[in-house]
Chain A
Amino acid sequence: MAFDNLFSEIVFWFLAAASVGSAALVVRLRSIFRAALMLVVSFLAVAGLFTMANAEFLAVVQVLVYGGGIAVLVIFAVMMTRDVDQGNQATAVQPVALALGAALLGALVYSVAQAEWALLPESLPAPLAAVFVETPARLGRLLLSDYALAFEAAGVLLLAAVIGALSLVREREAPEGDDA
């Protein structure tokens, strides 16, 4: 990072607290709508963390896809839920979910702590530094050359999902069938 270490540390802890805190609130808040909004805060804080790791492209895509698209989708789903007034209700699955979540968290923390991180040197050699400057261009080139098949497959998958969603909705429409 270009600026002072203490400053970036302050920003990091702020973002980390925001992402974890808002994620905890997603689970704890009684109003589902507010919970969905806290989820957006969590997404945005994670985008901030990406920015701190010099991954601007990832951060922007995080805001675009999760902060914009997915969040709107979640809120729409919440607004169309029938008993939204009753809020976040307790269910019988809660203890199971708690146990599974704790196990997953433990596994993640363990693997992060155990992994041998290949840290980059403080001052990067010129060719490596260039990679950070033009990440979008390099990502684009990789997606359309080495990973073209996976890229196209993802596109076809999403198209199938869109058509599937449309056909599900269309079923209940009036028989006259106007082309909306």
Chain B
Amino acid sequence: MGETLADNVIYRNVYAFVEGALGPDWAWAAYAAGGLAIILLVANGVMAIGTGYTWFERRLLGRFQGRLGPNRAGPFGLFQPIADAIKLISKEDIIALGADKVVFTLAPVVMLAPTILVLAVIPFGSGSWLADLNVAALYIAAVSGIATIAVMMAGYASPNSFSLFGSMRAVAMLVSYEVPLVMALLGVTILAQSMSLVDIVEAQALPFLIVTPLGALVFLAAVSAELNRAPFDVTEAESELVAGYMTEYSGMKYGVFMLAEFTNTVVAGAIFAALFLQGWKWAVLPSHLWFLIKVGGFVFVAVWVRATLPRFRLDQILSAAWKYLFPLSLLNAMLLAAEVIIWPERGAAELGIMAAVNWAVSVPAALLWSRAVSLRSAPPTLAALSPRAFSGAAGRARQAPGGEAAPDSAARSAGTEGG
């Protein structure tokens, strides 16, 4: 364990200031103020990075698609995120007639909450983290599950069938992919013999990406689905559902959804870097910079995948989770458990042997299993997709036909994704 909260410079200064101003009886207020100062700094810093990341993603997508991407606002279009934010803030904030106003307004907030909560356990650099929880890996899975509820709130509160279908799809997908995600986390936990992200980083004499390629693959796929990123973005498939659960949202409420989505990608990169890429560890450069570079690497791969693969159908996505990723993650966990028993002490040499064994098993397993499980099954029948299955809520949604919001949403998606 490195330093604790009391060692933090910001915390100490804020604590001393508040205690000095109010007297020793107010130590609890000083404690709260110091903690809040750090939380404010970290949360806003990461959200700023998430906002800046929109520029990175759109420029990169432009390269992949043989066009320029945003290039008008500032040098290389660098001020595009700021222009976007100003546009979103100044747009009219519409709450559709017949919406459940309170739930509708709260949904984006609930969506953003897990993004910020996850930051608590991420080690950003050597000796710099907010909390070294001994259940951090489980905490990440638990907290990110709250986003599911936000999606349901948005879908249910909007008087629109597209929103409802989008949220139904999202929930089916999020719940399914939580299983391989947790199994991949289990593999890493077995290897590091701890759920604390700090211990996991310390245990990586070799990056776990090399030691457990299958776990990294499953985690990458599951996390892309949890992030609603292409090729798993059926929940907001603009060619089918307008914008899914976000259809009725406009102005800054929509902006908060987008902020959560992009920040989530960066945060997922941070989690991936800590779990599989040795976190902050490497030589020469300062540890925080290394961490940022690794996050950038993850994000680059995420954009690359988005630009390369077409969108899957929902039933293909669900089959992939249950028939392909889940058995592979089980195999991965059992393999690692056996290896941990064989090599109780794991330095770089032992991890190297394990890596060799794991690669020899996982590559054939992944290839053979993909042959065995064909995802080219027939599409589901119309009867299975009938809105009668959701009679209660769908009946409510039918009162206001969904077509009304379409022009605005189309303009919106063109504005943010076209670039």
Residues of A within 8 A of B (CB): 3-4, 6-7, 10, 31, 33-34, 37, 40, 56-57, 60-61, 63-64, 67-69, 71-72, 75-76, 78-85, 133-136, 173-174, 178-180
Contact = CB atoms under 8 A, between A and B. Distances in A.
24 contacts: A7-B28, A56-B133, A57-B135, A61-B138, A63-B145, A64-B145, A67-B142, A67-B149, A72-B171, A79-B390, A80-B389, A80-B390, A80-B393, A82-B391, A82-B392, A134-B134, A173-B384, A174-B381, A178-B377, A178-B380, A179-B377, A180-B318, A180-B319, A180-B377
Given A61-B142, A80-B391, 15 more contacts: A3-B28, A3-B31, A7-B31, A56-B133, A64-B142, A67-B145, A69-B175, A75-B152, A76-B171, A79-B390, A84-B392, A84-B393, A136-B134, A174-B383, A180-B377
Interface in B135-167: 135, 138-139, 141-143, 145-146, 148-149, 152-153, 156
Contacts of B100: 31, 33-34
A44 to B, nearest CB: 8
B389 to A, nearest CB: 7
Nearest to A44: B146
A72 B396 contact: no
Contact of B135 (A56, A75, A85): A56
Contacts of A10: 28
Interface string B366-410: 000000000001101101100001111101100000000000000
A3 B31 CA distance: 8
A98 to B, nearest CB: 27
B46 interface: no
B137 to A, nearest CB: 10
A132 B396 CA distance: 50
Contacts of A34: 100, 102-103
Contacts of B152: 72, 75, 79
B103 A33 contact: yes
A7 to B, nearest CB: 3
Nearest to B25: A6
B178 interface: yes
A147 B100 CA distance: 47
Dominant SS at the B interface? helix
B395 A85 contact: yes
A135 B134 contact: yes
B315 interface: yes
Nearest to B164: A79
A103 B156 CA distance: 36
Contacts of A3: 28, 31
A60 B28 contact: no
The listed residue with most A CB atoms (<10 A of its CB), out of B102, B138, B315, is B138
B175 A72 contact: yes
B192 to A, nearest CB: 12
A85 B396 contact: yes
B149 A37 contact: yes
B334 interface: no
Contacts of B178: 68
Given A56-B135, A60-B135, A72-B152, A80 B377 contact: no
A3 B102 CA distance: 36
Contacts of A173: 384
Contacts of B175: 69, 72
A95 B171 CA distance: 36
Given A4-B31, A72-B152, A85 B392 contact: yes
The listed residue with most B CB atoms (<10 A of its CB), out of A31, A34, A64, A83, is A64
Contact of B32 (A7, A63, A80, A178): A7
Contact of A63 (B142, B195, B383, B390): B142
A83 B145 contact: no
B133 to A, nearest CB: 6
